[in-house]
Amino acid sequence: MKKISLLVCNCLLSAVAFSQQSGIAIIPEPVKITPHTGQYVLPKVITVQAASLPEMINVTDLLKEKFSSATGKMVNISKVAPAAAIKLVLNKKNDAILGKEGYYLTVKPKGITITANETAGLYYGVQTLLQLLPKEIEGKVIAKNVSWAVPVVDITDYPRFEWRGLMFDVARHFFTKKEVMSYIDHMAMYKFNLLHLHLVDDEGWRIEIKSLPKLTTVGAFNVKREGSFGSFTTPTADEPRNYGGFFTQDDIRELVKYAQERYVNIMPEIDVPGHSLAAVASYPQLSATPGADKYVVRSGEKIMDWSKPGHPALVDNTMNPAGEYTYEFLDKVIGEVAQLFPFQYIHMGGDECAKNFWELSPEVKALMAKENLKNMEEVQSYFEKRVEKIVESKGKKFMGWDEILEGGIGPNAALMSWRGIRYGIDASKAGHDVVMSPTTFAYLDYMQADKIMEPVVYATLRLTKTYEFEPVPEGADAKYIKGGQANLWTEQVYNIRQAEYMTWPRGFAIAETVWSPKEKKNFNTFFTKVEKHFERFNEAEIKYAPSVYDPIFKASRAANKRLNVELSTEIPGLDIYYSFDNSYPDKFYPKYTGILTVPVDATQFRVITYRNGKPIGRMVTMPVDELNKRAGN
């Protein structure tokens, strides 16, 4: 038995080694890859055999777009073409193994065949085919002197989870329709199928509601600030409120159609009852607090005290749970939103709702007495259950962040677990659908490297940690775990290039987690592929974070109180060179081999990483003052 196991292991290792030698580096990892010797060289004119179905255009357009822009080859689509270079085949009889999104990809010396039950599977098969081609396929101009060949291989593939998502916060900073479309394109490359759009928050209301025009004339704009979000100077009354924007309803329809053509659903989020300052500034009657008519859309100034329990608000950014106008307002909003988004769920937020102003409100106190509500958590539960009924009245399903568990969850509510995994476990055991998106693994706004190199937020999440994400933790009822997603909050993300930087490569790790078989996950193999995809992103001009190559600093005090610094790297095989003399080190400088004692008068510690004699990391300058702070007394 041991000999058989060893033989199987050796065969698997050989297959992995052979696929890597063949240039096969597919993210997310397919269910099964069987590489063979040889390759198929694409002809000068590429004929694609595909059925004449309207939905097939989504697949053939992807092939046309990629091949025409990068290879310069002509692509012809034909219903019948026995000698076609690429055959797209829909099964006449459903293959239970593949499901709705799976595919078989076969490359032989004389051609390529992709087989699936539905066009979604063909689309994902084409995305895999593109990853088998040279990296130049991602280029924006016709590449010269490239052999357009594909390794001979058999691939069987289908997703582990039905929900494979990324959340994009377009409320803190507005991103244009074109920018969101580019984000969708990058998602589709890695087989994500759900874009969660965070459309409203304290800093902006980003979707046109025709029955409530002030939401966009007032709520979509604030005063532009740049720097460290959350500590900005409070805007003066005379500063122009012209920073922001919103999506018209026609924009939303166009985005939804664009996403559907790439097999991506869009789920809208209308975050209430907290995070609602943009709405309250537009319609002050939403507030339970006197003086709300003086409120303005937040520009990034401090409005909550995160140092105290319950994070009390300094400005009441909540909706009034006791006011009937609140529910009339939400009925209008949800009614129009439901008409724009075909996806079954509407996410209604529910997170981080400060309740200190509710505690002062006579209206809320009267509601508590009338409804026999014992605390503020039950007040929010009352609100959430009423909102759930509104959502369901529009033919949609209600989803919220895990705070909706507090005070009692609605009967049909689905939950998105963000404060770790335990709320997702609890909700699944209670029979509620759950999407896992815990801060511990899936928050893309967190720093990826040392804070001296990143926009500073309150936590760090490295690629290695993200790759450990498991959407079905021990203790959860697996049949209620719909899948997982990563969340990109944009307080410190001001433009689409930074959004890309924060998403990739951690988005690769999430993609592999929610698509690939759990048993096939292996970080060392994964990172070998990541580096190949860095090369592809260079061709595509997509920004990514090279943070994984940066050294990790650990400061401490020696017995004699001298400052010590220890260095490590997130991935193996890197050499670190350093200086304390304010110059810029290269491989001719001292090489790090163990804990260093910082010279008495040094002010800067500079380091750079090399691999195989060539620089690979960024030049990092660590102030000695910062090391002293970290070492303490």
Catalytic residues: 352
Structure tokens at 302: 């401090």
DSSP string, 96-111: TTTTTT-EEEEEETTE
Helix/strand/coil for 472: coil
* Neighbouring C-beta atoms of residue 353, cutoff 10 Å: 29
Structure tokens at 523: 């970080």
* Neighbouring C-beta atoms of residue 312, cutoff 10 Å: 15
Strand partners, 417: 436
In whole angstroms, give the CA distance from residue 119 to residue 115. 9
Q: Which residues of 3-20 are buried (b: 16+ CB within 10 A; e: fewer)?
A: eeeeeeeeeeeeebebbe
Residues near 365 by beta carbon (within 8 Å), at least 6 away in sequence: none
Residue in 339, 480, 321 with CA at minimum distance from that of residue 396 = 339
Exposed/middle/buried for residue 123 (C-beta within 10 Å: 0-12, 13-18, 19+): buried
Structure tokens at 334: 């949800």
Cα separations (Å) of 264 from 148, 258, 428? Answer: 29, 9, 25
Residue in 153, 157, 190, 160 with CA at minimum distance from that of residue 31 = 157
Query: Nearest 5 degrees, angle CA 123-CA 128-CA 133?
Result: 125
Longest CA span, the chain? 81
* Neighbouring C-beta atoms of residue 254, cutoff 10 Å: 14
Please state whether the peptide bond connecting residue 273 to the residue before it is cis, i.e. omega within 30 degrees of 0: yes
In whole angstroms, give the CA distance from residue 343 to residue 395. 11
In whole angstroms, give the CA distance from residue 57 to residue 410. 41
Structure tokens at 190: 């890695």
Query: Nearest 5 degrees, angle CA 435-CA 487-CA 567?
Result: 120
Residue 437 CA, chain-centre distance (Å), reads: 10
Backbone angles phi, psi at 31, to 5 degrees: -60, -45
* Amino acid code (one letter) for 209: I
Ranges of beta strands (E only) in 370-432 are 397-401, 414-417
Query: Nearest 5 degrees, angle CA 432-CA 433-CA 436?
Result: 120
Structural contact between residues 99 and 122, judged by C-beta atoms closer than 8 angstroms: no
In whole angstroms, give the CA distance from residue 120 to residue 59. 8
Backbone angles phi, psi at 142, to 5 degrees: -65, 125
DSSP string, 432-449: --EEE--HHHHBTTSBSS
* Amino acid code (one letter) for 617: G
